[in-house]
């Protein structure tokens, strides 16, 4: 892809760069690092801008992968009816649910904690219902709450970039969060909110049966792997639990806040993910 002469481009990591400078990764004096940064950043900027609500509705995979909507997402969500026949309250039915469509309806109806009140609606998660790899973040932010999709703000753009740069597509993985509703002001979800919402994620994991779960940031890592885990110390490590391989890495938002110290490390973690996935399950190796 060619540079546009004279156009200042905004780095995904927050800075501005002149075309060709390649600010994304690595040593600014290294031609190789510049080339990698330039390629991925321009590809990202030109091809991977987030969807808008004005885009026509395109539901794939039984309505799980929303690229946009004909009407605002909260209205779509209010249209969803209680069509699951059961005597049990919605949340107690989780253990009985064996497909993501029904689970999604149940999660959208969830009122187990107060977060739903302050949010436009629950953000269920999206991607391949039979994904080998699942990514778990913290909780929806403002953009995610508006669109009803996980990781669609700046952190999501970085996640997309990491995926694409390591030969994965967003559609082949599944992306979810620890809590499904946006905490007010993007605060950290409280322990009782995490506890209330966790059965929703556990049901997603049970149904999707991923081989690998990548935990993005401290909350996801401590909730799913080990409460004593420290991301700065333990990132890049693999853990085995209940037949699933877990990889812990930084939350993309943390990388955006501390590009200098974290960008190369998250890149290494995604390279480790690609290597392990290729080694264990075949497929292309992007190295």
Contact letters for ligand URA, residues 165-204 (x by CB under 6 A): ------------x---------------------------
Can you tell me the distance from the alpha carbon of 75 to that of 77, in angstroms, rounded to the nearest whole number?
A: 5
139 forms part of the interface with ligand URA (CB under 6 A): yes
250 forms part of the interface with ligand URA (CB under 6 A): no
210 forms part of the interface with ligand URA (CB under 6 A): no
259 forms part of the interface with ligand URA (CB under 6 A): no
- Contact stretch for ligand URA (CB under 6 A) within 26-34, 83-91, 138-146, 223-231: 138-146
Least CB distance to ligand URA at residue 150 (A): 4
Residues with Cβ within 8 Å of residue 178, at least 6 apart in sequence: 136, 137, 138, 139, 189, 194, 197, 198, 201, 219, 220, 223, 224
Q: Which of 150, 183, 189, 199 binds ligand URA (CB under 6 A)?
A: 150
Of 33, 61, 31, 24, which Cα lies nearest the Cα of 158? 24
127 forms part of the interface with ligand URA (CB under 6 A): no
Q: Which two tokens stand for residue 78?
A: 């209010």
Can you tell me the distance from the alpha carbon of 90 to that of 134, in angstroms, rounded to the nearest whole number?
A: 25
Can you tell me the distance from the alpha carbon of 275 to that of 88, in angstroms, rounded to the nearest whole number?
A: 44
Residues facing 213 on adjacent strands: 134, 246
Residue number of the CB closest to ligand URA reads: 137
- Contact stretch for ligand URA (CB under 6 A) within 151-159, 160-168, 255-263, 271-279: 151-159
Question: Closest CB to ligand URA among 22 and 139?
Answer: 139
Least CB distance to ligand URA at residue 213 (A): 14
Residues with Cβ within 8 Å of residue 262, at least 6 apart in sequence: 250, 254, 255
What residues make contact with ligand URA under the rule CB under 6 A?
137-141, 144, 150-151, 153, 155-156, 177, 253
């Amino acid at each position: 892809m060619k540079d546009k002469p004279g156009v200042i481009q905004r780095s995904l990591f927050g800075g501005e760069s002149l075309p060709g400078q390649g600010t994304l990764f690595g040593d600014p004096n290294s031609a190789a690092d510049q080339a990698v940064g330039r390629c991925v950043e321009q590809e990202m900027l030109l091809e991977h801008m987030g969807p808008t609500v004005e885009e026509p509705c395109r539901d794939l995979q039984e309505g799980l992968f929303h690229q946009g909507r004909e009407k605002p997402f909260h209205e779509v969500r209010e249209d969803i009816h209680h069509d699951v026949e059961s005597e049990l309250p919605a949340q107690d039915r989780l253990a009985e649910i064996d497909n993501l469509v029904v689970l999604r309806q149940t999660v959208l109806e969830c009122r187990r904690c107060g977060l739903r009140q302050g949010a436009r609606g629950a953000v269920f998660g999206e991607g391949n219902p039979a994904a080998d790899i699942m990514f778990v973040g913290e909780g929806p932010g403002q953009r995610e709450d508006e669109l009803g999709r996980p990781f669609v703000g700046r952190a999501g753009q970085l996640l997309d970039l990491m995926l694409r740069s390591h030969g994965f597509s967003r559609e082949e993985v599944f992306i979810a969060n620890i809590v499904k509703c946006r905490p007010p002001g993007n605060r950290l979800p409280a322990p009782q909110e995490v506890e209330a919402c966790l059965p929703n994620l556990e049901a997603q994991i049970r149904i999707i049966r991923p081989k690998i779960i990548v935990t993005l940031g401290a909350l996801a890592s401590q909730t799913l792997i080990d409460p004593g885990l420290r991301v700065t110390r333990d990132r890049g490590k693999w853990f085995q639990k209940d037949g699933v391989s877990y990889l812990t890495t930084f939350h993309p938002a943390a990388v955006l806040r501390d590009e200098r110290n974290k960008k190369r490390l998250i890149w290494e973690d995604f390279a480790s993910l690609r290597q392990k996935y290729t080694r264990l399950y075949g497929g292309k190796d992007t190295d």
